Chains A and B, each alone.
Chain A
Amino acid sequence: ETGVTQSPTHLIKTRGQQVTLRCSSQSGHNTVSWYQQALGQGPQFIFQYYREEENGRGNFPPRFSGLQFPNYSSELNVNALELDDSALYLCASSLQHRQGGEKLFFGSGTQLSVL
């Protein structure tokens, strides 16, 4: 177990709705990254938060947004859901420091289905 927890585990929404996914990072970690994983594909980077600030963003539209809280937990919000947003959403925490910190510890993900 990585100590990274995500909620909910499964979610069903309809097109146009909004969704919020939550992640609690591993104790002592200061960075949270979110990935989208479509069936049969590798995880695709959405964005990363370091000490409550966005630290990098992948090729996702602005309707994908996020937050990181002072306790380093995080939320992923998706507005105006589309059918193609159906995927497994993975949260990963890590500890960034001068000597490195690229090793990600993943949660089990939230399976989102958009109907």
Chain B
Amino acid sequence: GESVGLHLPTLSVQEGDNSIINCAYSNSASDYFIWYKQESGKGPQFIIDIRSNMDKRQGQRVTVLLNKTVKHLSLQIAATQPGDSAVYFCAEKLGGSYIPTFGRGTSLIVHP
């Protein structure tokens, strides 16, 4: 089975709220994690990444948190906008590999 999964398949938020998308991974040998955003009719777009020697990384309006103790990854989006509506995927990569494995995805719906 898949080693990467998501807790919530759909997340609905109001414009301006903060969004948190969660992801569980099962392989403790994973050393690199990535979040992708996929809009309808497009390929996945890189958002932010984090290596296993970090527990937090911030980008523009996005923060990724990594909790290796419970094998949990989250993506926080501040001040969510309608343009953030998309499917979000987390992916993990095993040490020594260049091949990320994707989870199922969470659909984020932002209501104006």
Contact = CB atoms under 8 A, between A and B. Distances in A.
Nearest to A100: B32
Contacts of B49: 102-103
Contacts, number: 66
Nearest to B97: A56
B112 interface: no
Chain A interface size, under 10 / 10 to 19 / 20 to 34 / 35 or more: 20 to 34
Nearest to A90: B43
Contact of A104 (B42, B46, B104, B105): B46
A55 B43 contact: no
Contacts of B101: 45
Interface stretch (A14-22, A66-74, A77-85, A105-113): A105-113
Nearest to B90: A42
Contacts of A101: 98
Interface of A: 2, 4, 31, 33, 35, 40-45, 48, 50, 55-56, 90, 92, 94, 96, 100-109
B102 A42 contact: yes
Contact of A31 (B41, B98, B100): B98
Contacts of A92: 43
B6 to A, nearest CB: 9
B25 interface: no
Given A41-B104, A108-B41, A103 B46 contact: yes
Contacts of B43: 2, 4, 90, 92, 106-109
B99 A56 contact: yes
Interface in B13-67: 32, 34, 36, 41-46, 49
Nearest to B46: A103
A97 to B, nearest CB: 10
A103 B98 CA distance: 9
A43 B44 contact: yes
24 contacts: A35-B102, A41-B105, A42-B2, A42-B4, A42-B103, A42-B105, A43-B102, A45-B101, A45-B102, A56-B98, A90-B44, A102-B32, A102-B97, A102-B99, A102-B100, A103-B34, A103-B46, A104-B34, A104-B46, A104-B100, A105-B46, A106-B36, A108-B41, A108-B43
